[in-house]
Amino acid sequence: MTSWINFLLFLVLQLCFLSAATTNEHDDHPLPTVHVINALPKSSKAMNVSCSSNNIDIGEQSLVNGEVYKWRVSQRKLHYCVAIWERFFASWHAFQPRRDGNHEPLFWMVEEDGFFISWDKAKWVRKYRWETE
């Protein structure tokens, strides 16, 4: 009898944890639109950006100064991008559910000294830097 009670308690706890995880995964916040803004020097070559999430290829864009690559996040999962510009390359997490889940929209400004994130286009924080071979 005691083993059945323990088993039922274990089962109830597992269902509670599963329910809590599901609730956090699908909250009521809208999924954001991600904007990648090319703020590299006007005289430089275009920057190539490609983004994806899990097995979903969001696409590739070639951006010159001032152009924006944007897409709407389709699921509350990690989205990452890869950028190549002249002899530099970088990869970064364009959308992280814990960091960005409550924000709409989400902006990335790409400059010579790195990748800056903002949720309001007023305050920018550098999160990533370019790398070279």
pLDDT the model gives residue 127: 96
User: What are the E-state strand segments in the chain?
Assistant: 33-38, 47-53, 56-63, 68-72, 79-85, 88-95, 106-111, 114-118, 125-128, 131-132
Q: Are 78 and 96 in contact (CB under 8 A)?
A: yes
Q: Are 2 and 72 in contact (CB under 8 A)?
A: no
pLDDT the model gives residue 1: 56
Taking only the tens place, the pLDDT of each residue in 81-128 is 999 999 999 999 999 989 987 888 999 999 999 999 999 999 999 999
Query: Residue 124 corresponds to which amino acid?
Result: W
Query: Cα–chain-centroid distance for residue 80?
Result: 6
